[in-house]
Copies of this chain bind each other. A is one copy, B any other.
Amino acid sequence: MSEYRAPITDMRFTLEHVAGLETLRTLPRFAHVDGDLLTGVFDEAGRFASEVIAPLAQVGDTIGSVHNGDGTVATPPGYKEAYQRFVEAGWPAAGFPEEIGGGGLPWGVASALQEMIIAADMGFSLCPMLTYGTVDMLSLHGSEEQKATYLGKLVTSEWSGTMVLTEAQAGSDVGALTTKAVPADDGTWRLTGTKIFITWGEHDLTENIIHIVLARTPGAPPGTKGISCFIVPKYLVNPDGSLGARNDVTCLSIEHKLGIHSSPTCVLSFGDAGEGAVGYLIGEENEGMRYMFTMMNEARLSVGNEGLAVSERAFQQAASYALERKQGRTVGGERGEQAPIIRHPDVRRMLMLMRANIAAMRGVLYRNALAIDLSRHLEDEERRTQEEDLAAILTPISKAWASDLGTELTSLGIQIHGGSGYVEETGAAQWWRDSRIAAIYEGTNGIQAQDLAMRRIPLGGGVAMHRLFEMVLGDAASLEGDLKPIADRLTEATEASAAVAMTFGQWLLEGRYNDVLAGATPFLKMMGDTLGGWMLARGARAATAEPAGYDPAFLADRIALAAFYAEHVLPTVIGLKGSCLAGAEGMFAIEESRFG
């Protein structure tokens, strides 16, 4: 069983000196978020993640959640108690605004706490993560009565929440869903239909589950314009807040998955027993997709966070194995003397790739989270919009780039273990299997790439993307002395990415949509790697200034990671340009029938 220690120094450094927490601190609402507060919160949360959650990961994987046949789902041994302690310690509420009973921490800081819980046990972390989405939905779009009824217990995670979108024929194409909602005489609604892939859709951790369900009302227009959003609680809630009747929502089965075994992925049936499950309309009819989109940035960022967190966990396990495991001798080593494998260049290369990419992801994700915070709370409207646009650009990158990296880096974690990495008991394989879902759910990575290329490049007539490249180039230009080679590689990568963005922008104007779509995925990878290099370069620059409160060795590491990334990762960005700009013709040169 591998241990987990939250990388709190790197988290704090990334927030304070890479991602730009100082801007957020100028706001009265977040003025208290200083270094001491961060250290205190991170220490405590890190200990909780290590001691209470992390030991669950392996049993969660081995035993998993189990469907009992009677529609109930049993979570793995230890989950109930750990969840209870998680709620009691107040961790779930830390990142919500004080106005709704939260801890008032910015998203940037809450992201770090979320990373700890994911790294400790990704399957477990999905339960509160889905609840966050429910809280966002209700606090932004719920009526006062709905807020009063549900929000309190969701903020604390005493109740959990779900997002109920997918149906068998409606996955990426949400607009194809057919679940029906018809009005009842009392102003409530009755829902009937079957939903699939519902994360934590049924379980035994909380006394109630609040489902947010997308459905169609009578006469709704086809597609995404005819979707409405409903609250469907597992147990109806009485006016005094006590639980009433069991609603007509049934968990028919749970999926047998490649990973995240503790997270029950449910088939939910609404209205099996009678005239439909009782539902409460959120906001206006047919506005469901719009409401969903307002919370999508946070949800996608959370999935990116999974890529980061699971990589960190895999890195810690692989690094500790590489320090202990002796095998073979190094160049110049004594004959017959076995060295720890961390001394072999190829093993060190893998560890450095993991570590540098983890630092890069952390930078991009925190910057993304802070952009969301700033877009909500900055006073100046123009700057608020700028941050909103930045968040819009960064979010699909955070989601897809980090989730793909999660799978790539956890695979290196297996490789470092050699043969034992392929044996399940070692635990290295779990991180790889768990990671693999993140590229799929919450919008496949292909859809993220499509969003980035088709919708973010034209944002503000291309100004938003241009501003981002200018920021990167500006930071690169500020690097001096030993950091100059980093600046050069970063500038080259940025210019290559910008050239693709310019071409795509032009193609979009010319209506060459398929050409843009054909290159969208490699473009997203270019952007992610470039922005990762940007964040590492900012970290190296900050480290050179030797800020107080950090071990000089830690600061030296940050410079070394930036240099390594500039040498090994940034040059590959340029190699993707050809693939981005190849267009759709060659992609469709083989007839469809010849794939059968």
Choice from B258, B514, B572, B596 contacting A579 with Cβ under 8 Å: B572
A517 at the interface (CB under 8 A from B): yes
A411 touches B418 (CB 8 A): no
Q: Is the CB of B579 within 8 A of A346?
A: no
Residues in B whose Cβ lies below 8 Å from that of A338: 169, 173, 176
Contact B327 A172 (CB under 8 A): yes
Q: Is the CB of B587 within 8 A of A345?
A: yes
Q: In the complex, what's the smallest C-beta–C-beta distance from A31 to chain B, in angstroms?
A: 34
Contact with B along A134-169 (1 / 0, CB 8 A): 000000000000000000000000000000001001
Residues of B within 8 A of A595 (CB): 319, 322-323, 342, 351, 355
B173 contacts A345, C-beta separation under 8 Å: no
Interface contact B587-A352, CB-CB below 8 Å: yes
Residue of B nearest to A259 (CB): B422
Q: Does A421 contact B (CB under 8 A)?
A: yes
* Known A323-B595, A331-B517, A561-B590: A429·B258 in contact at CB below 8 Å: yes
Q: Which residues of B contact A377 (CB under 8 A)?
A: none
Does A564 count as interface, using CB distance less than 8 angstroms? yes
Q: Which residues of B contact A335 (CB under 8 A)?
A: 222-223
Residues of B within 8 A of A544 (CB): none
User: B436, A349: Cβ atoms under 8 Å?
Assistant: no
A344 to B441, CA, bound (A): 18
Residues of B within 8 A of A322 (CB): 595
Expressed in whole angstroms, the Cα–Cα distance for A495 and B259 within the complex equals 42
Residues 190-246 (chain A) with a chain B CB within 8 angstroms: 196-197, 222-223
A479 at the interface (CB under 8 A from B): no
* Contact of A446 (CB < 8 Å), options: B257, B415, B441, B450: B415
Tell whether A549 is near chain B: CB-to-CB under 8 Å. no
A422 touches B450 (CB 8 A): no
Give complex CA distance A439, B432 in Å: 15
Q: Are A576 and B575 in contact (CB under 8 A)?
A: yes
Interface residue from B173, B348, B355, B440 paired with A421 (Cβ < 8 Å): B440
Contacting residues, chain B, for A572 (C-beta < 8 A)? 572, 575-576, 578-579
CB distance from A340 to the nearest CB of B (A): 8
A386 on the B face (CB < 8 A): no
Nearest Cβ on chain B to A47's Cβ, whole angstroms? 19
Chain B residues whose C-beta falls within 8 Å of the C-beta of A578 in the assembled complex = 489, 567-568, 570-572
What separation, in Å, do the CA atoms of A336 and B570 have in the docked complex? 42
Q: Which residue of B lies closest to A571 (CB)?
A: B578
Q: How far is the CB of A595 from chain B (nearest CB, A)?
A: 4
CA gap between A196 and B588 in the complex, in Å: 48
Per-residue B-contact encoding for A411-442, CB less than 8 Å = 1, 0 else: 10011001101111100010011001101110
Residues on A close to B: CB < 8 A? 166, 169, 171-173, 176, 196-197, 222-223, 255-259, 319-320, 322-323, 326-329, 331, 335-336, 338, 340, 342-352, 355, 407, 411, 414-415, 418-419, 421-425, 429, 432-433, 436-437, 439-441, 444-446, 449-450, 489, 513-514, 517-518, 520-522, 553, 556-557, 560-561, 563-564, 567-579, 582, 584, 586-592, 594-596
Q: A257-B422, A331-B517, A571-B576 are in contact. List 5 more A-B contacts (CB 8 A).
A: A343-B592, A344-B446, A557-B590, A567-B582, A575-B576
